[in-house]
Amino acid sequence: MSKKVTRQNELASIIERYLEEDGVQSTAIPSLYIMRRSIASGPSHGVYKPSFCLVAQGEKEVWLAKERFIYSPADYLVASVHLPVTTQVTEATPDVPYLGLRLEFTPSQILKVLHDTELRANPKESSKRAMFVSHIESSLLDAVIRLLRLLDSPEDISMLVPLYTEEILYRVLQGQNGDMLKGIVMEESSIRQIRDVIEHIMNHFNHSFRIEELAEIANMSISSFHRHFKDVTAMSPIQFQKQMRLQEARRLLLTESADATDVAYRVGYESTSQFSREYSRMFGFPPIQDIKHLKAST
């Protein structure tokens, strides 16, 4: 048995020890979440924060707009900005459940690693997709294992988690797609400029906006802004805003048992019929029927 397989088995055993039932669970390590699925799942919608994601056992796919990313224990996935996604566990059984983890990070953590190391970024780097899958190297897997082992020694968490998290980010930054992460903190990079616009949309998704306004935030011409935004997110600003609105609407309907018409206005829709059409197109059912289906399945 190879060293990498042994490490992956250890990773799976730690996750399984702390998560005996299906679901997603926070841990004693800040920003670290572990997950388990005993059967392949249907599509699930959500918003990925900037995060490093790893599969210890099984397989998962993530859809960003119409682009599919598949990863297994041989790979890792990184979302470098906030992104609305659709996810699905594609390999899982009761005997060999899907086991995974997600470690969220911030731009300031990336900036600190770059400041403390010899890694350099090209500020003129062209925009790239803000999500990528890369092959996991042994050095990165070892760093993840060290982080997970801290669950067994909670007295060490406050001291060592920042160090191990920085090591994980350092290894990702060294990788073939590391420039994408470097770009989100470089003042002159187009990736950083688009990140600023994404944060603006996230904070004001229920308000209408003009493309000229967003292009001004990015300090780009309108045509350049459109191109760079789609390069980073795989969708247009309007499509991005629509996904944010619909996902928030679904959350409100599920958690507050709110009226669909009221929710439509709260997330920014002026037409309830348009809201219902777009909701059905994204989630497969009209709002009330969808919520009944979700509650019945849980």
Q: What is the CATH number of the domain that holds 61?
A: 2.60.120
Mean pLDDT of 260-265: 94
Mean pLDDT of 62-77: 95
Rounded Cα gap, residues 290 and 269, in angstroms: 18
- The last residue of one of the domains, among 157, 183, 209, is 183
- Identify any residues that bridge with 100 across adjacent strands, giving them in sequence order: 35, 55
**Predicted pLDDT at 5:** 77
In the chain, what percentage of residues exceed pLDDT 90? Answer: 80
**Predicted pLDDT at 54:** 97
| Same domain for 70 and 17 | yes
Rounded Cα gap, residues 104 and 31, in angstroms: 5
**Predicted pLDDT at 149:** 97
| Same domain for 273 and 159 | no
Is the Cα torsion angle 205, 32, 18, 84 positive or negative in sign?
positive
| Same domain for 89 and 171 | yes
**Predicted pLDDT at 121:** 66
Mean pLDDT of 175-195: 88
| Same domain for 248 and 229 | no
Cα radius of gyration rounded to whole Å, the chain: 20
| Same domain for 38 and 177 | yes
**Predicted pLDDT at 224:** 95
| Same domain for 247 and 170 | no
At 114-148, the pLDDT tens digits run: 999 888 766 555 668 999 999 999 999 999 999 99
Contacts of residue 255, defined as CB under 8 A and 6 or more positions apart, other chains included, come to none
| Same domain for 227 and 88 | no
For residue 187, pLDDT beyond 90 = no
Mean pLDDT of 65-77: 95
In the chain, what percentage of residues exceed pLDDT 70? Answer: 96
Mean pLDDT of 270-280: 95
| Same domain for 208 and 92 | no
**Predicted pLDDT at 282:** 94
Mean pLDDT of 58-62: 97
Angle at 216 (CA atoms; ends 211, 221), nearest 5 degrees: 75
Mean pLDDT of 159-181: 94
- pLDDT, the chain, mean: 92
| Same domain for 151 and 257 | no
Element (H, E) at 182: helix 178-183
- The last residue of one of the domains, among 183, 205, 221, is 183
* 229: nearest Cα among 257, 256, 258, 194: 194
pTM: 0.92
Q: Most confidently modeled of 2-16, 122-136, 148-162?
A: 148-162
| Same domain for 100 and 138 | yes
For residue 298, pLDDT beyond 70 = no
Domain that holds residue 216: 190-234
| Same domain for 246 and 114 | no
| Same domain for 102 and 16 | yes
Number of domains observed in the structure of the chain: 3
- pLDDT-based confidence at 236, cuts 50/70/90? very high
